[in-house]
Amino acid sequence: MSMNSFRTILILLALSGTCSPLVGADFAHEVVPILKEHCTECHGGDKAKGGFSLNTRSLFLEDDAAEPGNAAKSYFLELIEETDPEVQMPPEKKPRVPAEQIAVLKKWVDEGLAWEAGFSFGAKTWEPPLEPVKVTLPPALSGRDHPVDRILDQTLPTPPQPASDAAFLRRVTLDAIGLLPEPEELEAFLADTDPEKRTRKIDELLANDIAYADHWLTTWNDLLRNDYTGTGFITKGRTQITSWLYAALRENMPYDQFVRELISPTPDSAGFINGIKWRGDVNASQTCDIQFAQNISQVFLGINMKCASCHDSFIDRWKLSEAYNLAAIFSEQPLELNRCDKPTGEMATPKWIFPSQGDVDPAAPKAERLKQLAGLMTHPDNGRFTRTVVNRIWERLMGRGIVHPVDSMDSQPWNEDLLDYLAVRFAEDGHDLRKFIRLVMTSNAYQSQCEILDQEAGEDYTWSGPGAKRMTAEQFLDAIWQITGTHPEKPDANVDRALPDEDLVKTTTESVFEAAPVSAKWIWHEGETDKKSWLRKTVKLDKKPVAARLMATCDNYFTLRINGEDVAESKVWMNPVYIDISKWLKQGTNTFSVVAGMTGGASGFIGEILIHDGEKQTVISSDKTWQARRAKGEWAAAKELHPHGAGPWGKLLKPQFLASADLKKYPAGLTPPVRAALVKNDFLMRSLGRPHRDQVVTTRPSGLTTLQAIDLANGDILSAYLSKGAEKLMREKSGYDLGEWLYRFALSRTPTDDEKQIISEVLGDGSDPRAVEDLMWLVFMQPEFQMIR
């Protein structure tokens, strides 16, 4: 490519940003007022004098009234500038449009006649219904009787071709649990002849509670502005909802209850409505009260209250008073309306934005008001609540919302019946998110080939198949970790990912031990609780044990040494450590020493050790026979806080697993490998679009930028994964055709002959780990890998 064409590309890239430049013609603030002042009285709303209405952009452009990008050829401007009283616009008796306003209009046309998505001067042409709308399903065509197909087939007589089994498997696995299907899984799926195998696969994936939660945590962290690091934490102006959120996803909490617990929260779920509190003075439109109004409107209703937080919105119906009245439900103090950061003297009254469906009691205390609000938001008559969430999920699965962008739920969907049907069905199905995902995934529509667009779909979008989606930063990393086996060891998110007991049994093997009820106690030192406790126990063994195992955990963290050697540590109290300790024990005196730490809240250490000498099993439990001391304190008998199962912790330790598990399977404890959604943002993920969650984020950028591409070409983080992965693959996959294995894992297909030839050029004789690194890079950089089709 020549320098010149390269320059052109960069310029194109610069122009294709996500936001449109407004050099002087701001549609909402400038153009709309002019058109309202001079034109829409006769050519807007239900009036269309001379057959001309400018309610919407497409109506405006009908009959060549304007030519976007060319003011000089735009007929309506000619009429406005016309001096002949017979033909001029506005007509003779009305005031002329002043020159400076004409200039704005010209600029607006020259810049392409930008229009706010969904905006119409004909407020009556489409109004988002508030109530749920029941839809009578049209008849099935060609036996396609899934409700989604029955609706969509009406608009597209020739539906898209079904996706291949392999494409389906890759798509559905990434969409449901955010992972790639493993090569063995692909093989089994392709070989399966059961006609119901796709539905079975969907059910199997959605039943994987932990993997589902690991994946959807990303979406909900973005939506609920939840993260493990970020602004606000430093001054305690912000709290996480991670543990609550993860548990809610894992147990598939019904969505209405989920939202009620966010709006009328417990301390664990309060972080969302409390917002981020900054030290110091804050603009009136960004106080925590106003953040509350903005965030619940945006996330749960797809309503933009950001305009109305400063002034009555210019482009939709929301008013300053509505934003403040909503905020007042949350506010501890009487709330004064501020217009553009200036106090107005007017006071807000706590009030719901849809009073026709009931209201909060303004005299009630805050907690009660929030409870009432939670009830109103999730009320069965509030159809906007369910439409918003089904639209968001549809967008995640299909690449484009039925209303798009997904936050502009005031605008018209491209298929109203579809949105209405899905929303009502979702409510009927008990606000069950997984059931809803299943509903979409089981449709022929979802299981079809992706449409191919040569440019981003505009307002004239019509359904012609699911859209391709770019992997999120988390999906990209999870996939690479899957293939290279380079998962981080510890999550940063404080979440309960311990496998349920029945899953544990599946992974167990025979051993010499017998499971017995846990007799260990939660212990700490006597007296006032400090942040740290030193614990120890000395045991005399007649001979070196043939086998020995330990399970232990601590709220919040601990390290354990045996005879002076570091043996175990844990930073997540919910995930006890299970390890084989045989090799550290010896005949004679053995000392277990623990440094236990507490970072806040409850504190306690619990552990149990099984020792087998070949004849019998001995149990050593944490209890008052241990010694304990505080920092610089004297050793004394440990204090027993609670038996196992009591206190705030529940039955964390699994004796049956300790006795019989194949401890190698999950060396870091009883949890599946750590996923990207559970660790702090890093340079690579940030570069791939994981946001700094200071604000609510509802969509991720779909494009790869040049700076990102540089990071992918030479970034340290990715390079390290590749080189670690190459070593591992060469060790573990030595008997395999590596290229083929990699293609099957990464792309769910085998390479073609052409590709095989290139792969073998890269790999050479297969003995150079650098060649394997390069091959992985080549595969991971393919758009085919980074896209979900």
**Of 446-485, which residues contact another protein (CB under 8 A)?**
452-456, 468, 470
Give the Cα separation of 392 and 286 in Å (integer): 25
Across the chain, which distance is largest between two alpha carbons, in Å? 114
Give the Cα separation of 486 and 483 in Å (integer): 8
Site string for another protein, 617-646 (x = CB under 8 A): ------------------------------
- Min dist CB 344 to another protein, Å, is 18
Residues 730-759 that bind another protein (CB under 8 A): 752, 754-755, 758
> CA dihedral in degrees (49, 53, 54, 56; nearest 10)?
160
Place of tokens 């001079």: 38
- How big is the CA angle at 103 (ends 100 and 108), to the nearest 5 degrees? 135
Residue among 303, 296, 306, 307 at smallest CA distance from 118:
303
Residues 198-237 that bind another protein (CB under 8 A): 229-231, 233-234
Site string for another protein, 18-37 (x = CB under 8 A): xxxxxxxxxxxxx--xx---
Give the Cα separation of 250 and 308 in Å (integer): 36
Give the Cα separation of 15 and 19 in Å (integer): 9
543 binds another protein (CB under 8 A): no
526 binds another protein (CB under 8 A): no
- Min dist CB 427 to another protein, Å, is 28
Site string for another protein, 47-76 (x = CB under 8 A): ---xxx----------xx----------x-
82 binds another protein (CB under 8 A): yes
- Binding another protein (rule: CB under 8 A), the pick from 46, 58, 103, 731 is 103
Residue among 586, 509, 518, 528 at smallest CA distance from 552:
518
Site string for another protein, 251-280 (x = CB under 8 A): -------------------------x-xxx
- Min dist CB 339 to another protein, Å, is 13
Choices 240-248, 256-264, 532-540, 699-707 (CB under 8 A): range interacting with another protein: 699-707
Number of residues in the chain: 789
291 binds another protein (CB under 8 A): yes
- How big is the CA angle at 17 (ends 13 and 20), to the nearest 5 degrees? 130
Q: Would you say 172 and 165 are in contact if contact means Cβ atoms under 8 Å apart? A: no
Site string for another protein, 106-125 (x = CB under 8 A): xx------x-x---------
81 binds another protein (CB under 8 A): yes
With respect to another protein, which residue has the nearer C-beta, 315 or 539?
315
Q: Would you say 750 and 740 are in contact if contact means Cβ atoms under 8 Å apart? A: yes
- Min dist CB 167 to another protein, Å, is 10
282 binds another protein (CB under 8 A): yes
- Binding another protein (rule: CB under 8 A), the pick from 343, 591, 710, 731 is 710
- Min dist CB 686 to another protein, Å, is 8
Give the Cα separation of 135 and 427 in Å (integer): 14
Residues 123-162 that bind another protein (CB under 8 A): none
363 binds another protein (CB under 8 A): no
With respect to another protein, which residue has the nearer C-beta, 731 or 770?
770
783 binds another protein (CB under 8 A): yes
- Min dist CB 275 to another protein, Å, is 8
- Min dist CB 278 to another protein, Å, is 5
- Binding another protein (rule: CB under 8 A), the pick from 45, 67, 70, 78 is 78
Residues 6+ apart with CB under 8 A from 260: 374, 375, 377, 378
Q: Would you say 416 and 132 are in contact if contact means Cβ atoms under 8 Å apart? A: no
- Min dist CB 694 to another protein, Å, is 6
Please tell me whether residue 337 adopts helix, strand or coil conformation: strand
- How big is the CA angle at 609 (ends 604 and 610), to the nearest 5 degrees? 155
Kindly state the number of chain residues that form the binding site for another protein, as judged by CB under 8 A. 118
- The tally of CA atoms less than 13 A away on the side-chain side of residue 237 is 14
Place of tokens 């007649």: 542
Give the Cα separation of 659 and 516 in Å (integer): 8
- Min dist CB 124 to another protein, Å, is 21
283 binds another protein (CB under 8 A): yes
At residue 181, what are phi and psi to the nearest 5 degrees?
Answer: -70, 140
Residues 292-331 that bind another protein (CB under 8 A): 294, 304, 306-307, 309, 315
Residues 171-190 that bind another protein (CB under 8 A): none
- Min dist CB 73 to another protein, Å, is 9
57, amino acid identity: R
What does each C-alpha distance from 663 to 131, 482, 547, 657 come to in angstroms? 54, 20, 13, 9
With respect to another protein, which residue has the nearer C-beta, 159 or 689?
689
- Min dist CB 468 to another protein, Å, is 6
123, amino acid identity: A
With respect to another protein, which residue has the nearer C-beta, 230 or 655?
230
With respect to another protein, which residue has the nearer C-beta, 423 or 718?
718
With respect to another protein, which residue has the nearer C-beta, 336 or 755?
755
623 forms beta bridges with none
- Min dist CB 576 to another protein, Å, is 30
Give the Cα separation of 285 and 311 in Å (integer): 10
- Binding another protein (rule: CB under 8 A), the pick from 538, 694, 732, 764 is 694
141 forms beta bridges with 144
- Min dist CB 336 to another protein, Å, is 18
627 forms beta bridges with 536, 637
- How big is the CA angle at 544 (ends 543 and 547), to the nearest 5 degrees? 125
> And the tokens for 136?
């009578």
528 binds another protein (CB under 8 A): no
Residues 650-689 that bind another protein (CB under 8 A): 683, 686-687, 689
- Min dist CB 469 to another protein, Å, is 9
Give the Cα separation of 89 and 178 in Å (integer): 57
- Binding another protein (rule: CB under 8 A), the pick from 705, 727, 737, 741 is 705
511, amino acid identity: S
With respect to another protein, which residue has the nearer C-beta, 52 or 657?
52
With respect to another protein, which residue has the nearer C-beta, 81 or 312?
81
With respect to another protein, which residue has the nearer C-beta, 313 or 593?
313
191 binds another protein (CB under 8 A): no
> And the tokens for 393?
């999920």
14 binds another protein (CB under 8 A): yes
- Min dist CB 314 to another protein, Å, is 9
Residues 369-428 that bind another protein (CB under 8 A): 407
- Min dist CB 40 to another protein, Å, is 16
- Binding another protein (rule: CB under 8 A), the pick from 2, 93, 95, 99 is 99
Q: Would you say 513 and 582 are in contact if contact means Cβ atoms under 8 Å apart? A: no
- Binding another protein (rule: CB under 8 A), the pick from 428, 719, 731, 732 is 719
404, amino acid identity: H
- Binding another protein (rule: CB under 8 A), the pick from 7, 36, 651, 665 is 7
Place of tokens 């925590």: 288
Give the Cα separation of 50 and 90 in Å (integer): 13
Residues 6+ apart with CB under 8 A from 697: 222, 223, 225, 691
CA 231 from centre of chain: 19
With respect to another protein, which residue has the nearer C-beta, 104 or 328?
104
> And the tokens for 97?
């449009």
Give the Cα separation of 258 and 243 in Å (integer): 13
